[in-house]
Amino acid sequence: MLSIIFFMPSVAIVISGAYRALLQCNGTVVEHVMRANPDVTFDVYLHLTAEHGVEHSAAARDALESFPCVMGSKVERNHNVTAAVRAELPGVADLPRGQGTARGKALNIVKM
C-alpha cells in the first residue's frame, strides 16, 4: 500500500506595535496574506502596546478576535515599554529625529 502524506507549509506572523494600528492593519494581513495563501497554516503572535486602561482592555480582546489563528498575545502599557526601552538603551534619545512622517519615529521602531 502506498501512502502519500502532504505537509502544509507553516508560517508564523509576528505583529508588534501600538494597538491603535491593529484594527487598521489586521484586515489587510488576513485578506492579502492569509486568505490569499489557503495552502499555508498561519500562527499569529501579537505583542501590542496600549495607552491607558480602557484601551488596554480592548486591546486584549481585539488581539484574540483580529486573526483566525492567534497562538499568543501580550498587551503592555505603552509608558511601561517606553520606560523599559529608555532604561535598557539610554542612547535611544540620541537617535536622529527624522523628517516628514518619520519625525520622532525612532523610539517607536526601537519599541517594536
- pTM summary value: 0.73
Contacting residues for 70 by C-beta, under 8 A, at least 6 apart: 44, 45, 46, 63, 64
Residue 2 lies in a domain: no
Domain count, the chain: 1
Residue 47 lies in a domain: yes
* Cα–Cα distance measured from residue 110 to residue 82, given in angstroms and rounded to the nearest whole number: 9
DSSP string, 45-109: EEEEEESSHHHHHHHHHHHHHHSTTEEEEEEEEHHHHHHHHHHH-GGGGGS---SGGGTT-HHHH
CA 69 to mean position of chain CA atoms: 14
- Digit-by-digit pLDDT tens for the chain (112 residues) are 666 666 778 999 998 888 887 777 888 888 999 999 999 999 999 888 888 776 777 887 887 777 778 888 888 888 888 899 889 988 888 888 777 766 777 787 788 7
Domain with 80, as residue range(s), is: 10-97+107-111
Residue 102 lies in a domain: no
Beta-ladder partners of 47: 16, 74
18 DSSP 8-state letter: E
Domain CATH for 63: 3.40.50
